[in-house]
Structure 1
Amino acid sequence: MTVLDTRALNRATLARQHLLERAALPVGAAVAHLCGVQAQEPQEPFVGLWSRLSGFTPDALDAALTGRAVVRTHLMRRTVHLVTAEDALGWRTRHDAMLRQRVLGVYRSELAGIDLAELTAAGRAVMADGLARSMTELVKELKERWPGTPRRALGELLVAALIPMVQLPPRGLWRTKAGVRNLPLEVWLGRDVAALPADAADPVGQRIVRRYLAAYGPASTADLRAWCGLAGLPAAVKAVRPELVSFRDERGRELLDLPDAPRPGPDAPAPVRFLPAFDNAILGYQDRSRIIDEAHLSLSVTGQRVVLVDGRVTATWTTNDHRLTVTPLRPLSPAEHAAVMAEAEPLAAFLFDGVADIAVDPY
């Protein structure tokens, strides 16, 4: 079985993530290809798409959100993602059990004894008037029925797990600060969430496997689980395995992939790219060594924005008062420094509508 070294995996990931070359895609198509864009920090998806799409402008994502082609919702790993309307409707039921388990895992003692069906029905009854509500407003209308349960626990269970919800614009629009106001997904989109089939074939899971590999492969089943948070995909992987090709990484792990997906050679040039906080190019794997060194793994879960140099996390970056500052994690060569500056300049212009100060801190 062919062994793919870390650099080969790195280039495959960058190619699938549109980080080797910006793609000429509409926002909706890009979000669909990426299987969603992590979005718990509302402004971060704009940078992620800017780094991946040629000619990207903020109004394109704003239009996708207000036009209901893309929605903000809890899905993979119980985190807020931007996903297409079609994926939100088609994937949500497959994620229901995971979403419940994760909320109950956080609030197990606070939610002990709660009848989930009763709470769901009560929440849906409140939302039946079609009005968007904050989590606090929703729980306030239910508090008398569960007076001893902490409001935060009740609210998170309802809006993140029991009722498929959308976080409505203006939340998530460009340069807009707005609180979270929720509306049931089916109400916002005017269509029903797809039900799982009665048989055990799990076609939804099979589509998720194929889509994940298209955007993240070659990858292991552990990587797949880490990305989506779903434990119950072995049957789906087994069903699609005859369609796939297999590799090994340098640790001997089996990696699965689509046969015709791009796998550039390890010497393919990788331009400097600026990634937003919590970017799935890093978080989409259990083994993140293809893109980030072990010493810097904490950056990927603490909300640090990072810079890829030669395809790997090599610096962090921050913005403050029309100033973009890059902080290297290792010494940069003169050529690398110049390449970082060359990519930082258009990013700063994008973020600040014109000239901004750019600084690269000494290592």
Structure 2
Amino acid sequence: MSHSRPRIDTAGRRARLGRRHLLAPACRAARPEEVADALVALHATDAATVHLAACARLAVPDPAEVERALYDDHTLVRLLAMRRTLFAVGADLAPVASSSTGRAIAAKERAGLVGWLAKGVGWDERRLAAVEEKTLAALAARGTATAAELTEDVPALRESVVVSPGKPYEATVAVSSRLLRVLAAEGRVRRGRPRGGWTSSSFRWTPGTAFAELAAPPAAEARAALARRWLAAYGPATVEDLKWWTGWTLTDTRRAVAATDAVEVTLDDGTTGLALPDDLGPAPEPEPWAALLPALDPTAMGWKARDWYLDPDHVPHLFDRSGNIGPTVWWNGRIIGGWAQRPDGEIVWRLLSGDGGGEAAAAVTAEAERLAAWVGPVRITPRFRTPLERELSGRR
């Protein structure tokens, strides 16, 4: 006897998103650690995104709480992981993220650094190791330091390399920036509290604990664990979605999925999705909700195939040329516009879709006021600028 494949429609996916991503007001969290766990990982390439993404989902938004988790309690850990992107993850997930993706990326980063230094400043691996040893010793002595302070102690860090010479995008890159990036990828140093406020990416550095020393599971086991966590937060979704989100090979992705006991389901567009065995039933609809999410928000960047929550016609307005999404306005599990902050601090937004009518507009207005209230005097400029954000902010 044949059994039909379970079907999960778009409405069910959006209902799951509103609840599991803590966007419906009744589902908001008390602590940023809960937000990171719900979303698996918070994008951290843009320092402001971690705070904006967390506070959008907190019942009482407070960037000081995010700073506590990152810099005081270390319950959130920044690491270079999925898709060679910087993420902030819960401390319990850090060994899993490191073993499943981070270690391989760190190895590639180190190989790239060795080649870059050999070509750019003539260093061999022995010279690099000596400079690293001095850098780590200087950091240990200081306890915390900026890159500039470390170059005072280790003059070799001041050397620089011209990249893409003769090109319009030619740039001079300091050895310190590449070297510290690799040490951070290996867990030997950690990004500490930044200079300036929570929007700053000018970090102080502190000694770190190598992920190799943590009780990390083997790589295959870690990939299965990460896939299970991701499906619980983002499922139903496709193998291609997970492959894109992690940056794994197709073979590794399929093996990880097989270890989760995920069930094949049919999505509304006819494609085959995957869901955990306990996630096949109807999803209760949350109350109507609106959200203003930041550039590179984990929800907006959670899937490769986005048509079920993003009109393809809106992509040119909301993404930059490299595929980075800007600030977005959401209504009941669908992106309906974008927002920006003007130089005077005003939060402005524009709807690209009429979904929700007056109810949606009123809810978005309330969310904009909520955002402005906790952001206060802080000014936010996304690291990656998108056409609509530039237009709304008035800052080209």
Q: TM-score, normalised by structure 2?
A: 0.73
Q: Measure how far apart 1:80 and its partner are.
A: 1.9
**Separation in 1, partners of 2:128, 2:271:** 42
Per-residue CA deviations over 1:48-102 (Å, capped at 9, x if unaligned) read: 1222221232221121122222123322222222212232234213322245547
The 1:246–1:40 alpha-carbon spacing in structure 2 relative to 1, beyond 3 Å, is same
- The residue type equivalent to 2:351 in the other structure is P
Q: 1:8 touches 1:263 (CA, 8 Å); kept in 2?
A: no
Q: After TM superposition, give the deviation of residue 166 of structure 1 in Å.
A: 2.3
Q: Which amino acid aligns with 2:276?
A: L
Partner of 1:328: 351
* Partner SS for 2:200: coil
> Do structure 1's residue 350 and structure 2's residue 374 form an aligned pair?
yes
Map 1:1-363 to 2 at 5 A: 1-20=5-24, 21-67=26-72, 68-95=74-101, 96-101=103-108, 110=116, 121-122=129-130, 124-129=132-137, 130=140, 131=142, 132=144, 141=156, 151=173, 155-156=177-178, 159-160=181-182, 163-164=186-187, 165-170=189-194, 175=198, 177=200, 179-186=202-209, 192-195=213-216, 197=218, 202-231=220-249, 232-241=252-261, 244-261=262-279, 265=283, 268-298=286-316, 299-300=318-319, 301-320=323-342, 321-331=344-354, 333-352=357-376
What residue identity is the alignment partner of 2:70? L
8 Å Cα contact 1:134/1:181 also seen in 2: yes
Shift of 1:162: 5.5
270-279 or 69-78: which moved more? Answer: 69-78
- Give the equivalent residue in structure 1 for 2:382: none
Q: Displacement of 1:296 after TM fit? A: 2.4
Kindly tell me: are residues 69 and 236 of structure 1, through their superposed partners in 2, closer, same or farther at Cα, counting changes over 3 Å? same
Residues 23-69 of structure 1: per-residue CA shift (max 9 Å, x gap): 33422232123212112221222221222221232221121122222
- Structure 1 stretches of 4+ with a deviation exceeding 6 A read 102-105, 111-117, 146-150
Gaps in structure 1 of 5+ consecutive residues? 355-360
Where 1:86 maps in the other structure, the secondary structure is coil
The one-letter amino acid paired with 1:97 is: A
Q: TM-score, normalised by structure 1?
A: 0.79
- The DSSP-based 3-state class of the residue aligned with 1:45 is helix
Give the letter aligned to residue 50 of structure 2: P
Partner of 2:386: none
User: Which amino acid in the other structure matches residue 141 of structure 1?
Assistant: A
Task: Look up the SS of the partner of 1:181 in the other structure.
Answer: strand
| CA contact 1:24–1:53 (8 Å) conserved in 2 | yes
Change (3 A) 1:152 1:220: farther
Counterpart amino acid of 1:329?
A: L
1:5–1:135 CA distance, 2 compared to 1 (3 A): farther
Q: Work out the CA distance in 1 between the residues paired with 2:242 and 2:128.
A: 29
Cα distance change on mapping 1:85 and 1:330 into 2, 3 Å: same
| Matching residue's letter, 2:77 | V
Q: Which whole-Å CA distance do the structure 2 matches of 1:254 and 1:120 have between them? A: 49
CA contact (8 A) 2:14 2:332 kept: no
| 1:178–1:239 distance in 2 versus 1, CA, 3 Å | closer
Relative to structure 1, is the Cα distance of residues 263 and 111 closer, same or farther in structure 2, using a 3 angstrom cutoff? farther
- The answer (yes or no) to whether the contact 1:135–1:159 under 8 Å persists in 2 is no
- 1:233–1:334 distance in 2 versus 1, CA, 3 Å: closer
Q: Please give the secondary structure, in 2, of the residue aligned with 1:55.
A: coil
Query: Larger deviation: 321-330 or 253-262?
Result: 253-262
Cα separation, partners in 2 of 1:126 and 1:318, compared to 1, 3 Å: same
Relative distance call for 1:93 and 1:158 in structure 2 (3 A) is farther
Percentage of pairs with the same residue: 26
RMSD of Structure 2 on Structure 1 (CA): 3.7
Give ranges in structure 2 of 5+ residues lacking alignment. 164-171, 379-391
Deviations 1:111-165 (A, max 9, x none): 7889997687456423431255556757963688x98997558843761476334
Aligned residues of 2:15 and 2:286 also touching (Cα < 8 A): yes
| Separation of aligned partners in 1, 2:66 and 2:174 | 30
User: Secondary structure in 2 aligned to 1:168?
Assistant: strand
Displacement of 1:209 after TM fit?
Answer: 1.0
How far apart, in 2, do the equivalents of 1:120 and 1:93 lie? 25
Give the distance between the partners of 1:252 and 1:334, measured in 2 at CA: 33
Cα contact 1:15–1:263 (8 A) shared by 2: no
Compared CA separation, residues 170 and 263, structure 1 to 2 (3 A): farther
